[in-house]
A and B are shown apart, each in its own frame.
Chain A
């Protein structure tokens, strides 16, 4: 009989690297595209607003699982041979960007209109207003919901196991299947997830305090 050992723990930690990699892909891709979407949602151009809103509606109304299936199996039916990491990275980016886009839109809109007027009156262009006046203030408001969503993403990466990734949750299943020690196995899985999410929460609190200077 195989019992839970350090080998299993190392296996879990190695699998957690996938969780980290997928999360980082989602943050970077989803963050960059999410910012574009947020700015699109508050754009002065009607069609840009419409396009961003439509995208956000569609992605938010679609389970991540379905997006992932479409990216991996759907595109391969169309003759595109997509490696799993690209399919997973793309799906998580699409998913994350839609939610961050909407969260950040709310943060941008919560900056008072008078800040737009005051910065307009001293001659700043719209881009300069965003960069120097609006986004820094929106960022402070955005930190708690953004971090909250990032923590969700870390946990949601487990869904990529269906296209073959042996990330943390899937590795936990595999270890359990060979050891039949679900309690200790999943306690370790939980601890590793917590070890990834908790620093984010700490960082969030740190930045909130830092950006709160003068408020």
Chain B
């Protein structure tokens, strides 16, 4: 498939998401002790777009994603999500952030002691104070969306990796977030299971969900992302539509990264 064809496979692009920023990362730096992993990263993510962050291990892409969700404290710069400045020590801002941003992890992180249904309804009943019946209805709906309607009573241990990851996506979706963050969600899966997870993500993208993914799935990023961000040495090295990024890399680092066959 050529790049131009690929770019056209996403119908919602035609309806133009418009320039409404939903995440604004401005000059963010982050260190772990003496090791600086983010060097003044700036990035704007617009509503209804899918942004794929790619790069080598250690390039800071996962850290950036975790900073966006206040899982890591930043040492400089600002991050705004839905107009709300993210600060880990500001409880109100974190609470608001949690209601707006969902996150899916590489290792699924389902709660092993709870059924699939309860994994999904926990926050609905405990945080959003919904009734058990309402929460169950939402859970069944999102399980249907990820194709796991029959797994409500299973425990995480009884699921395959792909199923577990789809439950994790459903758990985030149930809270109707405005943005979903995906941190290498297919890295622990074999190609077949990866396919079923990517399918769910593709459906979400087509429905207009704002998504930021850190990924090694280049073909997926090329086909579906609106913007591909290449990170290198803790900086945004190059960013742009996949057609440009993949067909015409401007820097030798990106060229080398793309040719490394990832």
Query: 1/0 per residue A124-160: CB within 8 Å of B?
Result: 1000100011001100100000000000000000000
Residues on the B chain within 8 Å of A115, using CB? 109, 111
Least CB distance from A115 to B in Å reads: 7
A117 to B70, CA, bound (A): 10
B71, A117: Cβ atoms under 8 Å?
yes
CB of A128 within 8 A of CB of B111, answer no
Q: Is the CB of A213 within 8 A of B123?
A: no
Interface string of B83-106 (1 = CB under 8 A from A): 000000000000100110111010
Residues of A within 8 Å of B122, CB to CB, are 119, 122, 124, 132-133
* Contact yes or no, B175 A122, CB < 8 A: yes
Instruction: Tell me, yes or no, whether B172 is within 8 Å of chain A by CB.
Output: yes
Taking the complex as formed, is A51 at the interface, i.e. its CB lies under 8 A from any CB of chain B? no
Task: Give the distance to chain A from B120, nearest Cβ to Cβ, in Å.
Answer: 9
Which residues of chain A are within 8 angstroms of B101 by Cβ–Cβ distance?
121
Q: Are A214 and B126 in contact (CB-based, < 8 A)?
A: no
A114/B107 in contact, CB under 8 A: yes
Q: Which one, A114, A117, A136, contacts B113 given CB within 8 A?
A: A136
Give the residue name and chain of the A residue nearest to B122 (CB): A132
CB-based contact B109/A123 at 8 Å:
no
Interface residues on B, range: 20 to 34
Report whether A117 and B109 are in contact in the complex, using a CB–CB cutoff of 8 Å.
Answer: yes
* Most chain B CB atoms below 10 A, which of A114, A115, A118, A211: A118
Mark interface residues in B120-153 (1 if CB within 8 Å of A CB, else 0): 0011001110000000000000000000000000
B126: contacting residue among A124, A137, A140, A211, CB under 8 A: A124
Flag A197-215 by CB within 8 Å of B: 1 or 0 each.
0000000000000010111
A162 to B243 CA separation, bound complex (whole angstroms): 85
Q: What sequence of 0s and 1s flags, for each residue 11-39 of chain B, a beta carbon within 8 Å of any chain A beta carbon? A: 00000000000000000000000000000
Residues of chain B contacted by A137 (CB below 8 angstroms): 111-113
Judging by beta carbons under 8 Å apart, are A122 and B123 in contact?
A: yes
Q: Is the CB of A214 within 8 A of B112?
A: yes
In the bound complex, residues from chain B placing their C-beta under 8 Å from that of A140 are: 113
> B172 and A122: CB pair below 8 A?
yes
User: Residue on A with the closest CB to B181?
Assistant: A121
- A122 CB to closest chain B CB (Å) equals 4
5 extra interchain contacts, Cβ-Cβ under 8 A, other than A123-B95, A215-B113?
Answer: A122-B122, A128-B127, A132-B111, A137-B113, A214-B112
Q: What 3 pairs between A and B have smallest CB-CB spacing?
A: A214-B155, A118-B109, A123-B98
